[in-house]
Structure 1
Amino acid sequence: MNSRRDFIKHTAAVGAASLTPSIAPAAAQAQSPAPPLWQKLYPGFRNLRIKTSGAEINVVMGGSGPPLLMLHGAPESLVTWHFVAPALARDYTVVLADLRGYGDSSKPEGGADHSAYSKRAMAQDGVEVMAQLGHERFLLVGHDRGARVGRRMALDHPEKVRKLAVLDILPEHYLYSHVTLGFVRGYYHWFSFLRPAPIPEEETLARYQARAGEATSEIEREYDRHRLDPAMLHAMCEDYRASASVDLDLDHADLAAGKKITCPLLAIWAGKGLYPRLFDDILGVWQAEATDVRGHALPNATHNLQESDPQATLAALQAFLRG
């Protein structure tokens, strides 16, 4: 088993074999399909599937006002914004998108150089999604991998991004050039996922399968739905492989050219996360990346700011976006 296709076919066959034929069809007939969770989380929003030049992106959108694109992290999906997006939709046209490879978006082949999962390719998805919705310029909020896509979008398409908020990240080129034992221990997956397929994919699937029954909320069960998808796991690994290869090449070229983000940038990070323990001057790192930077830690937040401290996250975003 030495390819993505073999990995996905093998794991799908194992999953199918685990069903009890005499029970599964009866259960399917007895219960009508439950509505998708996004309908409950985002009342009044609508769902779209938008084809870009490289993928098909799952979008949930609602509200009115200036357009705001929100991009989630790994291995989450657009449901991660459930605490903050409805409030933002009172003032903005909120577009929640599953990144290519994640959630219910398509999962294209990464290619020999993983470039289909470069932040440039993923940023292009976002630009095309917003253009097809009629938004040539927009506000942008990203968490984790979505923030990395947002950073690349602001560099590649400065005419598109009015403001950028990045949640709990530092630039990849900075992290890979400041590797310490603490960083390796805290972010082991950054290195584990770089190994050739299918080894990290298989290990990650086994880990998620082992704890799948521990989900205690509909949000956790929704995350499990995607985390148990072999195609998503492969895409996630390709995302990390791209970060340590083609994305670094793009960053180094920008650094050599002195290129910076020119739109206003907000950086907020988890006060209870790893970054404050590993790095002394998080804001200073961002000030070297952009021309107009502000930011601070959220003292009570862990990595998923928007879920661990939604009130503080929402307040920070509202002040920045309307300022």
Structure 2
Amino acid sequence: MLFNKNFKKDRFITSDNIQINYVSGGRGEPLLLLHGYPQTHVMWASVANELSNDYFVICPDLRGYGDSSKPKGLENHENYSKKVMANDMIELMEELGYEEFYLAGHDRGARVTHRICLDYPHMIKKVSVLDIAPTFHMFLNSDMNFSTGYYHWFFLIQEYPLPETLIGNNAEYYLKEKLKRWSAPGATFNEDAVKQYVRCFDKDMIHSTCEDYRASATVDMNDDAFSRDKKISMPLLVLWGEKGFINKNYNVIDVWKDYAKDVSGKALECGHFLAEEAPFDVIDEFRKFFR
């Protein structure tokens, strides 16, 4: 069992008929945790189990991921825009009765988190993003290092069905290669969590996650350009892996200061998957920041 007895599974149907799978549990103020690619909500299990002693923790699968709905992408990819994915999470939190909450996101979930902060600032008390630089900044400052280290950003946005077909020929290899390549040397993952990632990484999720990336390169860039004069207004904690791509290629705090008003953060001794490679450090940083 990945989540402890404090947690229960549930499902929520959004206003556009998307089923959001999630687990929740604990006590105290609400803390919403959003996962990244190519994972599901179970990436947060170690962190969530500990923090459930201090917060009511909600861990959903984003649309297109895990056991949430995986609708076919629209021609303009809009149904996988970060604005739409952000709205899913806001509807979930409103359904749970929360007008304000703490928020943290990793990887793709951190990009949804960024959009939530821009579109619903009145609902977010404090926020943390893990191991990303802003999408808009990364695309506009693309170079050889970016296109080599983050080759999947350019592979997954290729026209359907090219990436879906190639990944689908050996989906388990592709997923496990991502976990290995993006983590620090010697990093290990919970076997039960990896089994869940593999189970969920089916034909539908492969397509929907490609749509997530296609949206980032198209409709999300337009939305980000429109919002460029807005900054994250609430306190922002940025954490990233010392052994990862983000640390090697960006002055992380300086970049985020151009997108947020109140930024703090640090590198942790790990690769890309902070919550699984360095859960106790993440727990410690979250407790200090959110309280």
TM-score (norm 1): 0.83
Structure 1 residues 87-125: Cα deviation after superposition (integer angstroms, max 9, x where no partner)? 110010000100000000011232111010000000000
* Runs of 4 or more consecutive aligned structure 1 residues displaced over 6 Å after TM superposition: 211-216
Structure 1 residues 30-78: Cα deviation after superposition (integer angstroms, max 9, x where no partner)? xxxxxxx5xx423221111101123110010000100111100011001
Identify the residue that residue 202 of structure 1 maps to in structure 2. 165
Q: Distance between the aligned counterparts of 1:105 and 1:212, measured in 2?
A: 18
- Unaligned 5+ segments in structure 2 are 178-188
* One of 287, 295, 301 as aligned partner of 2:265: 295
> Does 1:313 find its partner at 2:282?
yes
- Give matches, 1:1-323, under 5 Å: 37=1, 40-54=2-16, 55-210=18-173, 217-227=191-201, 229-255=202-228, 258-279=229-250, 281-298=251-268, 300-322=269-291
Considering Cα pairs closer than 8 Å and 6+ residues apart, tell me whether 1 or 2 has the greater RCO: 2
Between structure 1 and structure 2, the one with the greater Rg is 1
- Unaligned 5+ segments in structure 1 are 1-36
Q: 214-223 vs 108-117, which deviates more?
A: 214-223
**2:25 partner amino acid:** G
Q: Aligned with 1:290: secondary structure?
A: coil
Structure 1 residues 251-298: Cα deviation after superposition (integer angstroms, max 9, x where no partner)? 10111xx2111011111000000112112x110111111111111111
Query: How many residues get paired?
Result: 279
Q: Percent identity, please.
A: 43
Q: Distance between the aligned counterparts of 1:240 and 1:289, measured in 2?
A: 21
Q: How far 1:211 moved relative to its partner?
A: 6.8
**1:43 partner amino acid:** K
Contact 2:72/2:207, CA 8 A, preserved across alignment: no
Q: How far 1:162 moved relative to its partner?
A: 1.0
Q: 129-138 vs 199-208, which deviates more?
A: 199-208
Q: Distance between the aligned counterparts of 2:175 and 2:94, measured in 1?
A: 38
Over aligned residue pairs, what C-alpha RMSD do you find? 1.6
Distance 1:211 1:189, change over 3 A: closer
Structure 1 residues 129-182: Cα deviation after superposition (integer angstroms, max 9, x where no partner)? 000000111100100000100100000001111111000001101000111111
TM-score (norm 2): 0.92
